[in-house]
Structure 1
Amino acid sequence: MNIGGTLTLVLPIEDSSQIGHARRTAQQLAEKNGFDATDAGRVALVVTELASNVLKHATRGELHLRILPRPSGFGIEILAVDRAAGFDLQACLTDGFSTGGTQGIGLGAVSRQADVFDVYADHRGAVLLTRLYPRSDKAPDRRFGVTQHSLHHDPACGDVWHLAFDGACISALVIDGLGHGEEAERAARAGEKVFALAPFASPTLLLEDMHQAMTGTRGGAGAFAQFNGDALKFVGIGNIGASLIGPDKSRGLASHPGIVGGQYRRAQPFDYAQVNGHLLIMYSDGLQSRWNLQDYPGLVHRHPAVIATVLHRDFCRGRDDVTVLVVALETAHG
């Protein structure tokens, strides 16, 4: 199964009039992607509650929406993001509790409507994740998360990400086309198109094919990782950041200098053994590299979508396209 990269849809939540717009936007998105009236109603309810919670608790924040391709059909991902002071999570999960002092359904009801519910909250703020699938969709949740944003909300994004699943095997790609805008996106998409044709091919040959496809474009930085259920191969050119986060240590994954589609020396992949159960984090240089998950107690155990969103919220440079891709390396993906 291939999942092509798309931008995160961001809905600001700063006053009560935006709650209705968010609800309508999410419900229409669900209906356009195969949700029936009942399931689309669940999406509308969850968005309304999350947006209301942002206003009550934080006074301002955002909802991040994403379509999730599935083996048959699509799901909807909704994340509520804020920078408010910490709040009592267990109390908020109780029906009828409202941080705004008014009667509310509570996040407990949201968690029961959602197929996936997770949250991380500390003094920096909160990120709440919900994923909803049609009731007929019984496939397990794929434990990956991605957040992607273009500079100045440009409809063209020079960053591209792509994921491929084949049984227990996973292949993950991030490309950052030089600069930003339409020409950067054209360069990145040229590399992604070749990658999608054979995401589990020999890394050296696959990189060479991507290089040929991107020749004549601006070119860009690119990196991909191939996980076979136990070990991981990683190859990168340019400044795509990547880390493997294990239970007892973290390690950066090294890329070679150069430009895919421009010039680079022959790049050999790096091999990492026994990484089942690790987190793979890949990101473009729109994200600062000085983050450390150890500064966020317990975050490493949260859903990858929560991790990606927290990192984007706190370390986005704000002057370039930005992509953060987090994948749980586990054989249960099959």
Structure 2
Amino acid sequence: MENKEITIQSVPFSTVLIPPPLRLNILLLSAIWLWFSILNFLSRYQVDVSSIVRIRDPHDMHIAPTHYQLQTNARNFATSLTKIILPLHLISSILYYIFSQQTEVSNNNVPFNLLIHSLPLVGLIIISTTIIRHVPIIKYCVKRLILIESKPRNLRTTYILLSDSLTSIAKPLIDFTLFTSLLISEPITHFDLFIASLPVLIRIFQCLREYYIAGNKSMLANAMKYCCNLPILICTWYSRVHDSKMIKKNYELTFLLINSSYSFFWDVRMDWLLDNIINGKLRRSKIVMPEFVYQVAIFIDFIIRYWWVWIRLYGGNSGYIFIFFDGELQYLEVLRRAIWVVFKLESEYVINLFPK
């Protein structure tokens, strides 16, 4: 009998624990807990978030909650939502594992198919409706997301936090949409690229609108930053249509480098207002925290912005597009966004303290 070599390819544990289509809800839940952590962290340095972020609907005449009340509400909200989402995620993961392992079940059992593809959607609906019910300003901003309001400044900050956060969940949103869309049809060709472009297009339109209203030329530069994402998507589309790996390898790497560098510069210089690093000081005006805190944040932002480089250097030979575990960049991006929010809010607080 001829001996045949059997190659067993291991599946990353994180893929079993949190399958790609189910990551969106876990990342959203993580983001809610990170918001609570942000409030706690900023409270150590007496940064009053309630004074720099619009919490209530502009038409709501009630007194806005204090920073301490925001902390308490965020903790209670995250705790109550976790008690619902985690059990639902556990059930979804078990069913997904059965779905992926047993072909005959997944192909022939229509009720099972319906259940496995609808549970992530149920989780997202629970998260979304709960957020809208408890945080009315989110509902207000979502309705007007493209038509961003530049004034008052605290309302604009809320818009920016929301829309920029959407850009950080583009990839898990793609996986989620493609999976749940199987409820009604086969996957639509290149639909994932369309979904990925939406958060970017929203930010581009917002920047152009702010430039049109206020004439701030920095908004054009900001729009260009988001435009740097589009050639990457175009390269992906072209490589699929023409089956050209060289296009994806050569041009996409160039656009990734431009996008990462532009975004990293904008994070530090424009969003965090750390405009005096070259001269040995972080900022010409006041800084609220110790210098090493800013330095650590800059370092982490740099590492995650260029994570695709580290993957190619250290993880490329493994056959996986990660270094440590499957989908790691999606989790790291949510963490990076949380760090970005901390120093974006800190810079807004400094602007309030030292207006020009």
Q: TM-score category by the smaller chain?
A: under 0.3
Structure number with the higher strand fraction is: 1
Structure number with the higher helix fraction is: 2
Bigger CA radius of gyration: 2
TM-score relative to the length of structure 1: 0.28
Higher relative contact order (CA 8 A, sep 6+): 2
TM-score relative to the length of structure 2: 0.27
